[in-house]
Amino acid sequence: MSRIDAKFAALQAEGKKAFVAYVMAGDPDYAKGLEIVKGLPAAGVDIIELGMPFTDPMADGTTIQLAGQRALEAGQDLEKTLAYARELRKEDDTTPIVMMGYYNPIYSRGVDAFLDDAVAAGIDGLIVVDLPPEEDEELCIPAQAKGINFIRLATPTTDDKRLPKVLQNTSGFVYYVSVTGITGTAEAQTAEVAPEVARIKSQTDLPVIVGFGIKTPDAAEAIASIADGAVVGSAIVEKIGAGESTADVLAFVKSLADGAHRG
């Protein structure tokens, strides 16, 4: 059983939904970024999504783009992002870590080398937004062979014809993107999301987690109530970008986690 599977089983036993937090590795710099990541489990985060900074983040809105720029300017790279996982694993061997980003840095490192390094660092899952199911042989299949979950995005435009293809080699959980467009823009609407989550769940036994457009504890609670959990990224990254202290960022994260856990 993977850490992700174990986490969802434990949450289900407690009657709780999952809270997933996204942060950009290396934002605003290596040391503070690592301090925040290390504080996430105690703030109630069930799964950590670790953004891999990239020069051309086409699926991301301004908030995440700027976070990536700050991280790259501070010298963050794929090796240092893997180092975050290694550092967290020294004190936490249960919280799942999912790396999220684009294929180019992984391809540049070499898929086999990257996967070996990711396994050694304690990475549990990958979300690679620019690799469609048609490219599963590139990374998805090799990752799963190494025991790393490959998590797929489903969107409002993923129709019934496309959905089976999206679900085909997905593991860990399904990430439902609640709004059409880039990160950090429109707000998720529970009434619109609920039937989509139900549609996906009718096709898979995997947990369905909803992200994009969740910015407050109340929104996290509302979304978690109709899914298996909620993801918040841009709202957290905004606090980091505004220069808030680590303690204040983590207090905000805890409020979001408390909301999702009430869902």
Neighbouring CB atoms inside 10 A of 111's CB total: 14
- The architecture in CATH of the region 3-262 reads Alpha-Beta Barrel (3.20)
Domain boundaries along the sequence of the chain: 3-262
Q: Where are the alpha helices (DSSP H) in the chain?
A: 3-14, 30-39, 62-73, 78-89, 103-109, 111-121, 140-145, 163-167, 190-201, 217-225, 234-241, 246-262
pLDDT digits (tens, 9 = 90+) for 157-180: 999 999 999 999 999 999 999 876
Measured CA to CA, the distance from residue 79 to residue 26 in angstroms comes to 11
pLDDT at 191: 87
Averaged pLDDT for residues 249-260: 98
The residue-averaged pLDDT of 85-102 equals 98
Per the prediction, the chain carries an average pLDDT of 95
- Residue 6 pLDDT > 80: yes
123-150: pLDDT as tens digits: 999 999 999 999 999 999 999 999 999 9
Q: Is there a contact between 40 and 21 (Cβ–Cβ < 8 Å)?
A: yes
The DSSP letter of residue 188 is P
The per-residue pLDDT for 179 is: 76
Neighbour count for residue 104 (Cβ, 10 Å): 15
Report, as an integer, the average pLDDT of 214-241: 96
Task: Give the Cα separation of 222 and 210 in Å (integer).
Answer: 11
219 pLDDT more than 90: yes
State the pLDDT at residue 186: 59
Which is the catalytic residue, given 46, 49, 124, 238?
A: 49
Characterize the bridge pairing of strands 229-232 and 208-211: parallel
143 forms beta bridges with: none
Establish whether 49 is a catalytic residue: yes
Going by pLDDT thresholds of 50, 70 and 90, the confidence category of residue 84 is very high
Which of these is catalytic: 5, 27, 35, 60? Answer: 60
Contact status, residue 24 vs residue 33, Cβ threshold 8 Å: yes
Q: Are 212 and 177 in contact (CB under 8 A)?
A: yes
Range of lowest pLDDT (1-5, 57-61, 258-262): 57-61
- What's the pLDDT at 180? 64
Is the pLDDT reported for residue 183 higher than 70?
Answer: no
Structure tokens at 67: 């976070």
Is the separation of the CB atoms in 131 and 140 below 8 Å? yes
Task: Look at residue 184 and tell me whether its pLDDT is greater than 80.
Answer: no
Say if strands 174-177 and 208-211 run parallel, antiparallel, or are unpaired.
parallel
Q: Which two tokens stand for residue 76?
A: 């963050």
**176 close to 139: Cβ distance less than 8 angstroms:** no
